[in-house]
Structure 1
Amino acid sequence: MRNDVIDLSRAVPPIVPALEATLAKSIGERLSRSDAGGLLRTNRPRGTEDDRRTGAEWIAQRLAFTPDIDRMIVTNGTLNVLFLLLNQLVGKSGTLLTEEMTYPNMQALSGILGFNIKGIPLDGDGLNPNAFEDLCRKIDTPKVLYTIPTVQNPTAIVMPPKRRVEIATIARKYNVLIIEDDAQALMVEEAGAPIATLAPELTWYVMGLAKTVVMGMRVAFLMTPRAEDAGALMSKFGKMSMWFVAALQAELAQAFVANRVAYEATINIRKIAAARRRIVADILQRPELAKGPLGLHVWVPTRADARDLATEALAAGVLVRPGIQFAAEPVLSEAMHGLRVSYCETRKEDDLRRGLAILAKIISA
């Protein structure tokens, strides 16, 4: 890849100056404590009580209640917790159901862990409930649904409340466990209630800090359906330290939530993202992209093969991701004719404008 590429491929939050300014102070305060040596010398399987309390407080913004910390597990990022859950809940004999386009690492996880994936068609409101129920009828193996109902990846769809109720009802009817990934949910001020509040006995709810606070904060929070479910997960993976949250990261997460820096960062990220999304809509001449719920990326449908457009864009110095890269199954469908364009990775607005201008010419041609 050429060195001067403008990266519009990664859905990461913009840098918030106020957070950067408090970083050194927050670290200093934590390390100056009399017990700092002990804090940083021990592993944190599941997270300390304070870690889990921080996680419960953070996800309470979406749940409208603060979960008991016995239901909480704090991990070294979302990918780690997904690895644990897919191993535990799906396994080699199971089938994972998910949107036909989804988190790109799902294919890799399927190859490592050995489970099958079945993609569910999407419509304008997200995961199609009729197609979901049809698959539930046909599949006999243990079933798990992985879904991103709020700012879906890559389509940026926010599932409306009625659709969430439909999905929860079908899952309960067929006893389908749900992994709900709410990575960008705090970007949306009035998203629908999480599915975890509609089918709490079935849902494993995941939210990290990487998308709405700072990308390098490798801390993710998992709320299990019941306290005993957290215990079962720990009994299987409790000694495998590769997924433990790093002590310093956990301490920073505690500090940023306690001093409100994390909350303020999310508000500022929304403002920057909203301004940048308007730039995307203007330069691509797609006014509809400026409307609706906010996120860190937009989905741009294309008439031409998105793979060819992405290849041409890269040759011109712009990196974007075509829909096929998000495929749940390695099959190109009509829905995948589009590009995911992320607009907060580039620190300089001029670079964003220049990259979008190049992309606009390629798409229109």
Structure 2
Amino acid sequence: MTDTIWQPDLSQFAGPKYMALADALRSAVREGELTEGARLPTVRNLAWRLKMTPGTVARAYQMVMQDGLLSGEVGRGTFVAATAAKAKAPHGLYIEPDTKVVDLGAPQLPDVGQGVAFARALRGIADRMGPDWLTYPSQRAEAPLRTAVVDWLSDRVLGPIGTEDVVLVNGGQNAISVVMQACLRGEKPIVLLEDLAYSGVRHAAALLRAEPVALEMDGEGVRPDALEAACRRHSTAQLLCLTPQGQNPTAVSMGPERRAAITRIARAHDLQIVEDDCYSVAKSQLPQLRALAPERTWYVGSLSKSVSAALRFGYVVCPTGKGETGRMVAQHAFFALARPVSDLCLDLIVSGDAEKIRASVQAELAPRLQMVVNMLGAYDISWLPGLPFVWLRMPRGWRASSFMRAAEAEGVLMRSSDTYALNHGRAPNAVRLAVSGAMPRPRFEAGIATIARLLSNPPQELSI
């Protein structure tokens, strides 16, 4: 079979060369310019014709392979994949329950009686309902819930915080957006992120036309030297977004010395800090960044990972003296929390039901996490007690993209490192496996067993 003669006009595609070439490949496949089964030019041939390095072409090919549009075979070349692979729609964050699918893409909370607790609280709220439910909600009326949030966070080493420091928001994603609106200034502000990070942070930055800059990490999260270098290269950087307690997706945690070093650099370069603790590791005694740098740290959390994601309830502990600023941004966006949400969350926290649910959720998820660690412990994994996911680095013989396709073919879904990387950032050969509490334990265990079996049987021919 001869190679297809294909040479794109990259001037039509923006971004770095490898991104432009990847976009050109996607366009050519989807528009039929490159047909199913066509063999693409070799990496060296296309690199010579486009006057770029072979590594740039190989990276573009690999990205489009991960989309399922191309396939590669050792010794034969790179081909346009079958129509079924091209036409398949990408998975969303959640899929409809299916007995044939084990969804390890997003953590799912177990049912530990949340519905019973919610029903009890809502009946009481209904009995107390009055004319004030006919007017717009106000932040003044939220003061008791802000006080309850301070009590809820008493197991955290946050330093002195009070009701005046708290902003109530509609979940963790909304919290990040509120903080960015409060902090970012100028036409294209710089936001510094972990080089693998929750994609919602990038989306929030994009809405404000901010430019994200990736920071390299190691076994404790962002490296101080990488942060210092980025601050020198981007002297106008305004915001640093971190998950020091349980990093998503790599499941690492910053030690106390690293936290101190990061906050010293942030202070030296006058960076505001977003401390995302939505994936909170239970009962940690490490000082939060909010305790180490209270004048510049915006601590973000929610009940989504511990009580119920359906509540869409989150909070921000603002830097000292910035609570009014944060509440004003929230007021401009949505006035205040909807009364059903605020009254329900207040009842759950004050009654102690929220704490009971959190403890029961951890009690249900802990043995499932241990099951994953036991079954995959022979491989290179990172995990933390209380964190509902495991970071799995691929063993020799597997690429993350081909491994995910093989697992999906057997009814198991997960997330690759590409989900968390910036468009122009690194994507290590790894996947994240979420711990699901929503599915029966035998089905969850069967899904992990499928992963273990696939890991021990890599393909003979790799897509590279």
TM-score (ref. length: structure 1): 0.90
Q: Secondary structure at 2:301's aligned position in 1?
A: strand
Identify the range of structure 1 (165-174 vs 266-275) with the bigger mean alpha-carbon deviation: 266-275
Q: Give 1:357 deviation, angstroms.
A: 1.7
* Counterpart code for 1:24: A
Please tell me whether residue 78 in structure 1 is matched to residue 179 in structure 2: no
Q: Specify the alignment match of 1:151 in structure 2.
A: 246
Q: Give 1:58 deviation, angstroms.
A: 1.5
- Could you say if the C-alpha distance between residues 130 and 142 of structure 1 is closer, same or farther in structure 2, counting changes exceeding 3 Å? closer
List aligned pairs for 1:201-280, cutoff 5 A: 201-227=295-321, 229-241=322-334, 244-280=336-372
What is the distance in 2 between the residues matched to 1:214 and 1:296?
A: 14
Q: Specify the alignment match of 1:7 in structure 2.
A: 103
List aligned pairs for 1:74-113, cutoff 5 A: 74-91=168-185, 92-113=187-208
Q: Secondary structure at 1:63's aligned position in 2?
A: coil
* Counterpart code for 1:240: A
Q: Specify the alignment match of 2:407 in structure 1.
A: 313
The 8 Å contact of residues 280 and 289 in structure 1, kept in 2 or not, is answered as no
- Could you say if the C-alpha distance between residues 320 and 129 of structure 1 is closer, same or farther in structure 2, counting changes exceeding 3 Å? same
What is the distance in 2 between the residues matched to 1:182 and 1:48?
A: 22
- Could you say if the C-alpha distance between residues 46 and 99 of structure 1 is closer, same or farther in structure 2, counting changes exceeding 3 Å? farther
Residue-by-residue CA offset, 1:176-212 (whole Å, 9 max, x unaligned): 1101011122x33224111000000010111111111
What is the distance in 1 between the residues matched to 2:258 and 2:435?
A: 28
List aligned pairs for 1:182-197, cutoff 5 A: 182-185=277-280, 187-197=281-291
Q: CA RMSD in A?
A: 2.3
What is the distance in 2 between the residues matched to 1:236 and 1:281?
A: 42
Please tell me whether residue 331 in structure 1 is matched to residue 427 in structure 2: no
The 8 Å contact of residues 323 and 340 in structure 1, kept in 2 or not, is answered as yes
Q: Specify the alignment match of 2:449 in structure 1.
A: 357
**Structure 2 segments unaligned to the other structure (5+ residues):** 1-90, 459-464
* Counterpart code for 1:302: M
* Counterpart code for 1:150: Q
Q: Percent identity?
A: 23
* Counterpart code for 1:10: A
Q: Give 1:123 deviation, angstroms.
A: 0.8
What is the distance in 1 between the residues matched to 2:282 and 2:312?
A: 21
* Counterpart code for 1:318: V
The 8 Å contact of residues 383 and 391 in structure 2, kept in 1 or not, is answered as no
* Counterpart code for 1:238: Q
Q: Which of 192, 212, 234 is equivalent to 1:117? A: 212
Q: Specify the alignment match of 1:68 in structure 2.
A: 162
Higher RCO by CA contacts (8 Å cutoff, separation 6 or greater):
1
Q: Specify the alignment match of 1:49 in structure 2.
A: 143
The 8 Å contact of residues 302 and 338 in structure 1, kept in 2 or not, is answered as yes
Residue-by-residue CA offset, 1:8-47 (whole Å, 9 max, x unaligned): 1112332223x333221111112212x4452474324486
Residue-by-residue CA offset, 1:330-350 (whole Å, 9 max, x unaligned): 13526x221110112432111
- Could you say if the C-alpha distance between residues 338 and 50 of structure 1 is closer, same or farther in structure 2, counting changes exceeding 3 Å? same
* Counterpart code for 1:271: A
**Structure 1 segments unaligned to the other structure (5+ residues):** none
What is the distance in 2 between the residues matched to 1:245 and 1:208?
A: 14
Q: Give 1:90 deviation, angstroms.
A: 2.5
What is the distance in 2 between the residues matched to 1:37 and 1:22?
A: 25
Residue-by-residue CA offset, 1:212-246 (whole Å, 9 max, x unaligned): 1122121111111133x2323444552332x7422
The 8 Å contact of residues 100 and 122 in structure 1, kept in 2 or not, is answered as yes
Residue-by-residue CA offset, 1:51-101 (whole Å, 9 max, x unaligned): 211222212321355622121110111111211222331354211111111
